[in-house]
A and B are shown apart, each in its own frame.
Chain A
Amino acid sequence: KTQVEQSPQSLVVRQGENCVLQCNYSVTPDNHLRWFKQDTGKGLVSLTVLVHENDKTSNGRYSATLDKDAKHSTLHITATLLDDTATYICVVGHNTNTGKLTFGDGTVLTVKP
């Protein structure tokens, strides 16, 4: 059973539009949740990390929320640019002692002109 489920699997938007990516998980314990961006053929780059119940973060045009009760996170991208085309990966950290992480399969975002 997939422990970190991301939706949608893929998404196409027009430049300038906003979009929302979802992440639902069943991992326990859930110490933190991090969103990564992966450009094609590149490594993962961290966008934001959420730690506390009902955490909200903002990093430029990226903002994220975490609801630990519902085990659900969202990543909002505002006013998308062509360079936002990438795979966005949700990762749940179990606890800091072991460093164990569970990765989602990713959402492939394509931004068209």
Chain B
Amino acid sequence: GGIITQTPKFLIGQEGQKLTLKCQQNFNHDTMYWYRQDSGKGLRLIYYSITENDLQKGDLSEGYDASREKKSSFSLTVTSAQKNEMAVFLCASSIQISNERLFFGHGTKLSVL
């Protein structure tokens, strides 16, 4: 079996700060995803990547950048953290975009002071 590792587990930032979240997978999956989960709300797709060096915008891409430099890693950057922002960012992967079985990491919990 494989695993998805997200770092850091907790991230505290200041308003206006640029913050980077990292995700690694050893499934050898082609497709990787970043989702945002707000308390009590459904997940929303920020960015996804169907292969190395590919980037596709999701429904919530404004205010974020992403990078897929290697097949196994996908990073997400919050370009300017918003004051009092609090959310969990979940990374996921799947064999291919057409395979609906997603495997998730444990999440990075972001708090902005």
Contact = CB atoms under 8 A, between A and B. Distances in A.
9 contacts: A9-B40, A42-B106, A42-B107, A89-B42, A98-B97, A101-B100, A102-B42, A103-B44, A104-B42
Nearest to A87: B40
A44 B98 contact: no
A43 interface: yes
Interface residues of A, number: 24
Interface of B: 4, 31, 40-45, 48, 90, 92, 94, 97-102, 104-107, 109
Name the residue in B41, B42, B101, B109 with the highest tally of chain A Cβ atoms < 10 Å from its Cβ: B42
By Cβ-Cβ distance, the 10 closest A-B pairs, closest first, are A43-B104, A103-B42, A99-B97, A103-B43, A96-B98, A44-B104, A93-B100, A43-B106, A105-B42, A42-B106
A41 to B, nearest CB: 7
A32 B106 contact: no
A75 interface: no
Interface string A81-113: 000000001000100111101111110000000
A34 to B, nearest CB: 7
Nearest to A99: B97
Contacts of B31: 99
Contacts of A66: none
A44 B94 CA distance: 13
Contacts of A63: none
B76 to A, nearest CB: 15
Name the residue in A45, A89, A93, A99 with the highest tally of chain B Cβ atoms < 10 Å from its Cβ: A99
Given A43-B90, A44-B90, A101 B104 contact: no
A4 interface: yes
Given A46-B101, A49-B100, A99-B94, A41 B107 contact: yes
A106 B42 contact: yes
Given A42-B107, A44-B90, A99-B97, A4 B42 contact: yes
Contacts of A34: 100
Nearest to A44: B104
